[in-house]
Chains A and B, each alone.
Chain A
């Protein structure tokens, strides 16, 4: 339920200003044509200031286990052109038709206090997915394309109430691809049926647009910090899947590491990190011998790298300048629970 508070805030904000703009109308050609739109407004995703008043055709969703991004709030929408269908493979990975878009706004503050920093769009063009970052201007009237990314000073209030001043990094276009890359092509990361919570009011209609290769998969994946949704092992693996496996899989940016944290590689014990020695870790090893030393989190390179903010040590390499203390605690608890040999 908590995950929908942000959305409720957006809706409330939208109601407050509803007298002003007409509903946004999506510009399909901005999604499909080869140009790189300079302004986010060219897509017609939002009518209000900031990312408020989303076009009626946008469907809000959240992820049961999300990627950590410096405690940023994220508001996510999916757009599928009218009449087009989504395909789901046997594992529930969704394939979107040309003309689709995934729109993710990053910011801080919840509910009506949410202030957007940037909106990243993934556009499904005939040539494949295009990933573009847009940074909101000061009065939130529009967001500008920043292909080279940028840095912004931001004050972050963490879940424990502590405040941190960070240099928030908006990724450049290539960095978008570093994470969203499979065999050299850009792909979405989040939309896997089991991890995808569509907004309650839209879920039935959205699921009717999916052609399932096998039995439909419900949004039933583990929520990393909710013990009622899965065992410790399931929640830890879900966390690693979402936070690491976009690079750490056999066709991802970290393919050469041999450390594979995607569900599909789970059968190869060494590949999942158990007693796996580093290859190109350098000082990322922290003087430890194995990615995961079962039963010994303090001897595990994974904990060392998740717990660092130093470039060259910190993992993931981009998109994080803070330590996800609660995520590290989960993986620490999980490694402690693994039996050593």
Chain B
């Protein structure tokens, strides 16, 4: 008797755990796709799955999702394609403003602004998504491919982004972030973590961008003071696309041929990555170089630990001011690791990689490069990584298993 009841109880438990009225809302491409898909995204209830059919959805306006707990699922990143080639308005292709959303198995092409933006959307999962500007790298492409901002718990897994005129994968003003197993190519910045806290960027491939992986912090923003970012196990090779960012944007200042660039952050770890074919440098550690008016902003980099990276050919075609001169002075190529030197030993910038380091010998982050005093340096100190691993809530990992 007891056993039967036990079995029955567990059936009840299962029933209770599943969303009782969760349903699939199937949307097929074809005439009226804009209104049909947008209506599904509006009428979906928490727990529902909006299923994108196979084929190309020709969209005329931005789409948006503002219902918590909804999954948008396609038939695959080459099968369900949201095309914004004919987009007439809106700043992005798809905008998500609700929590606990899963986006997976579809593509966004040719959005006029950003491709997928999620703002104030906690616990968001991007999985197996392709974002592409199909005309190749162009200044007229949208700025960001995958663009979560002002969010807590961001999981970006197995995405591919091609052609963003700013950053392919951009996480801004967020906390607790994982970007993994993804590919960024032919963007200005492959992957960028900006004004964010606690991020793991690992097992990605960043290639053919202007700069591979950027960790930046900018002044005059609601969240600043970027810190605790680990960049590890990535392949960052041949980032040699000329910078095609519209002027005025911070990434327009990234030299072509940059592997990893850290700007105005603290507690950053770069380890176990493979670098090769980055013509300017593999790792560049610099302060914020523009004039700013913000008493709360810290422009210099502090506490960097660099270890166990593999450095291939680099520094052979430096695309920054004074680069050629530096290359000539240091035997034909710029050393693979460059630090602006601001803060001196107090900055605690350490590297145990077995390659030369160039210290630009600056005393202020915005010092003109002509007045720098570059010299080879040892960044001696304990460079072993110590930051804890970033962990997502279980439900987020479960959503992509």
Contacts and interface: CB of A to CB of B under 8 A. Distances in A.
Q: Bound pair: A and B? A: yes
Contact of A281 (B88, B143, B293): B143
A178 B90 CA distance: 11
B264 to A, nearest CB: 13
Nearest to A280: B143
A278 B64 contact: no
B222 A287 contact: no
B120 A184 contact: yes
Interface stretch (A48-56, A122-130, A309-317): A309-317
Contacts of A175: 64, 90
Interface string A129-149: 000000000000000001111
Contacts of A285: 246-249
Given A256-B172, A312-B112, A321 B247 contact: no
A256 B150 contact: yes
Contact of A258 (B62, B120, B220): B220
A312 B222 CA distance: 22
A44 B300 CA distance: 62
Contacts of B222: 250, 255-256, 258
B142 A312 contact: yes
A326 interface: no
Interface in B130-181: 139-144, 147, 149-150, 165-166, 170, 172-173
A311 B173 contact: no
A318 interface: yes
Interface string B41-69: 11100000000000000001110111000
Summarize B's interface: helix, strand, loop or mixed. Answer: loop
A177 interface: yes
Interface in A173-193: 173-175, 177-178, 184
B43 A147 contact: yes
B140 A255 contact: no
A288 B293 contact: no
A282 B220 contact: no
B248 A287 contact: yes
Interface stretch (A9-17, A212-220, A268-276): A268-276
B298 interface: no
B7 to A, nearest CB: 39
Contact of B249 (A184, A255, A281): A281
Contacts of B140: 283
A256 B42 contact: no
Nearest to A291: B248
B397 interface: no
Given A258-B222, A312-B91, A275 B293 contact: yes
A148 to B, nearest CB: 4
Contacts of B62: 311, 317-318
Contacts of B166: 280, 282
Contact of A270 (B43, B120, B150, B293): B293
A301 interface: yes
A179 to B, nearest CB: 12
Interface string A156-170: 000000000001010
Interface in A240-285: 250, 253, 255-256, 258, 269-271, 275-285
B290 interface: yes
Contact of B113 (A147, A174, A184, A312): A312
A269 B295 CA distance: 13
A248 to B, nearest CB: 12
Interface in A8-38: none
A276 B218 CA distance: 11
Contacts of B172: 256, 279-280
B221 A269 contact: no
A94 B281 CA distance: 57
A313 B220 CA distance: 22
A288 B247 contact: yes
Contacts of B303: none
B42 A174 contact: yes
B74 to A, nearest CB: 19
Given A148-B39, A169-B89, A282 B249 contact: yes
Contacts of B247: 285, 287-289
B221 A317 contact: no
B139 A283 contact: yes
Given A256-B119, A312-B113, A317-B90, A289 B38 contact: no
Contacts of B248: 277-278, 281, 285-290, 301
A270 B220 contact: yes
Contact of A253 (B61, B119, B143, B147): B119
Nearest to A310: B112
A317 B91 contact: yes
A151 interface: yes
Contacts of A146: 35
Interface string B109-141: 001111000011000000000000000000111
A172 interface: yes
Contacts of A269: 293
B92 to A, nearest CB: 8
A117 B114 CA distance: 30
B250 A311 contact: no
A255 B35 contact: no
Nearest to B36: A148
Interface in B248-298: 248-250, 290-294
A251 to B, nearest CB: 10
Contact of B220 (A151, A276, A289, A318): A276
A255 B142 contact: no
Given A167-B88, A280-B143, A282-B249, A256 B113 contact: no
B352 interface: no
Nearest to A319: B89
A98 B102 CA distance: 34
Nearest to A274: B293
Contact of B246 (A172, A277, A282): A282
Contacts of B144: 280, 282
Contact of A148 (B38, B88, B113, B147): B38
Contacts of B149: 256, 280
10 contacts: A169-B61, A178-B64, A258-B220, A270-B219, A277-B220, A277-B290, A282-B114, A283-B141, A284-B143, A317-B91
Chain A to chain B: the 6 pairs with minimum beta-carbon distance, closest first: A282-B143, A312-B113, A285-B248, A311-B112, A148-B38, A148-B39
Interface of A: 146-151, 167, 169, 172-175, 177-178, 184, 250, 253, 255-256, 258, 269-271, 275-290, 301, 310-314, 317-318, 320-321
Given A282-B249, A318-B89, 9 more contacts: A147-B38, A174-B38, A174-B66, A280-B144, A282-B143, A283-B142, A285-B248, A311-B113, A312-B112
